[in-house]
Amino acid sequence: MTTNEKTAAEVKNPSNRFFEQTWDLQYKHALGSTVSRFLDGLAEGKIWGRRTTDGRVLVPARSYDDITHEKTGEWVEVANTGTIEMFTIVYEAFKGLPTPPYALAYVMLEGADTALVGYVQGIDLHDRASAIAALQIGTRVDVRFAEKPAGTAADYWFELGATPKQ
Amino acid sequence: MINVGIAGFGQSHFQTTRTDVTFPELVKEGADLALADADISIGKVDAVVYPLAPDALIGVSNGERWVIDALGATGKPFMRVNNGGATGMSAVLTAWTHIASGLFDVVLVAGADRVSESGSAQSVLNKMWDVGYERTVPLNTITMLALSAQRYMHLYNSDETDMALVTVKNRKHASLNPYAHLRTLITVEEVLATRTLAWPIKLGDACPASTGAAGVVLVSEKYAKKNGLKPAWIRGIGQNTETFWMGNRVGEKALGDHADADALGYAFDIAYAQAGITDPVNQVHVAEVYAPFSSVELHVIEAARLAEKGRSPRDLRAGKFALGSEGPVVNPSGGTLCTNPIAVTGTIRVGEAANQVLGRAGAHQVPNARVAIASAIGGDHQFYSTMVLCSDLEEI
Confidence of residue A163 (pLDDT cuts 50, 70, 90): low
Nearest to B283 by CA among B386, B356, B371: B371
Flag whether residue A26 sits within 8 Å of chain B, measured between CB atoms: no
Q: What is the pLDDT of residue B121?
A: 83
| pLDDT tens-digit map of B208-245 | 999 999 999 999 999 999 999 999 999 999 999 999 99
Chain B positions in Cβ-Cβ contact with residue A28 (cut-off 8 Å): none
Q: What is the pLDDT of residue B228?
A: 97
Window 50-109 of B, Cβ < 8 Å to A: 56, 59
Which helix (DSSP H) or strand (DSSP E) does residue A58 occupy?
strand A57-58
Flag whether residue B287 sits within 8 Å of chain A, measured between CB atoms: no
Q: What is the pLDDT of residue A3?
A: 45
Confidence of residue B118 (pLDDT cuts 50, 70, 90): confident
Residue type for A61, please? A
| pLDDT tens-digit map of A22-33 | 998 999 999 999
Distance from CA of B201 to the nearest CA of A (A): 9
Walk me through the domains of chain B, giving residue ranges and CATH numbers: 4-119+209-220 (3.40.47.10)
Chain B positions in Cβ-Cβ contact with residue A143 (cut-off 8 Å): none
Strand, helix or coil for residue A101: coil
Chain B positions in Cβ-Cβ contact with residue A132 (cut-off 8 Å): 199
For A101, the domain range is 30-160
Residue A3 in any domain: the answer is no
- Specify the range with the lowest mean pLDDT, choosing from B4-8, B117-121, B368-372: B117-121
Q: Which residue has the higher pLDDT, A164 or B9?
A: B9
Q: What is the pLDDT of residue B115?
A: 87
Q: What is the pLDDT of residue B192?
A: 98
Nearest to A40 by CA among A144, A118, A153: A153
Distance from CA of B73 to the nearest CA of A (A): 21
Flag whether residue B119 sits within 8 Å of chain A, measured between CB atoms: yes
| pLDDT tens-digit map of B124-153 | 888 899 999 999 999 999 999 999 999 999
Contact B248 A66 (CB under 8 A): yes
Contact B19 A117 (CB under 8 A): no
| pLDDT tens-digit map of A92-151 | 998 888 999 999 999 999 999 999 999 999 999 999 999 999 999 999 999 999 999 999
Domain tally, chain A: 1
Confidence of residue B380 (pLDDT cuts 50, 70, 90): confident
| pLDDT tens-digit map of B25-80 | 999 999 999 999 999 999 999 999 999 998 998 999 999 999 999 999 999 999 99
Flag whether residue B151 sits within 8 Å of chain A, measured between CB atoms: yes
Could you give the percent of chain A with pLDDT greater than 90?
84
Q: What is the pLDDT of residue A9?
A: 55
Computed over every residue of chain B, the mean pLDDT equals 97
| pLDDT tens-digit map of B302-341 | 999 999 999 999 999 999 999 999 999 999 999 999 999 9
Residue A117 in any domain: the answer is yes
Mean pLDDT of B12-21: 96
How does DSSP classify residue A127? S
Q: Is the pLDDT of residue B87 over 80?
A: yes
Contact B33 A4 (CB under 8 A): yes
SS (H, E, C) chain B: CCCEEEEEEEECCCECCCCCCCHHHHHHHHHHHHHHHHCCCHHHCCEEEEECCCHHHHCCCCHHHCCHHHHCCCCCCEEEECECECHHHHHHHHHHHHHHCCCCCEEEEEEEEEHHHCCCHHHHHHCCCCCCCCCCCCCCHHHHHHHHHHHHHHHHCCCHHHHHHHHHHHHHHHCCCCCCCCCCCCCHHHHHCCCEEEECEEHHHECCCCEEEEEEEEEEHHHHHHCCCCCEEEEEEEEEECCCCHHHHCCCCCCCCCCCCHHHHHHHHHHHHHHCCCCHHHHCCEEEECCCEHHHHHHHHHHCCCCCCCCHHHHHHCCCECCCCCCCEECCCCHHHHCCCHHHHHHHHHHHHHHHHCCCCHHHCCCCCCEEEEEEEECCCCEEEEEEEECCCCCC
Distance from CA of B46 to the nearest CA of A (A): 25
| pLDDT tens-digit map of B286-305 | 999 999 999 999 999 999 99
Q: Which residue has the higher pLDDT, B361 or B115?
A: B361
Residue A44 in any domain: the answer is yes
Residue A151 in any domain: the answer is yes
Q: What is the pLDDT of residue B262?
A: 95
Flag whether residue A109 sits within 8 Å of chain B, measured between CB atoms: no
Flag whether residue B140 sits within 8 Å of chain A, measured between CB atoms: yes
Between A and B, how many residue pairs show a Cβ–Cβ distance under 8 A? 160
ipTM at complex level: 0.95
Residue A102 in any domain: the answer is yes
Q: What is the pLDDT of residue B124?
A: 86
Flag whether residue A20 sits within 8 Å of chain B, measured between CB atoms: no
Q: Is the pLDDT of residue A1 over 60?
A: no
Report yes or no on whether pTM surpasses 0.90: yes
Flag whether residue A56 sits within 8 Å of chain B, measured between CB atoms: yes
Residue A41 in any domain: the answer is yes
| pLDDT tens-digit map of A31-45 | 999 999 999 999 999
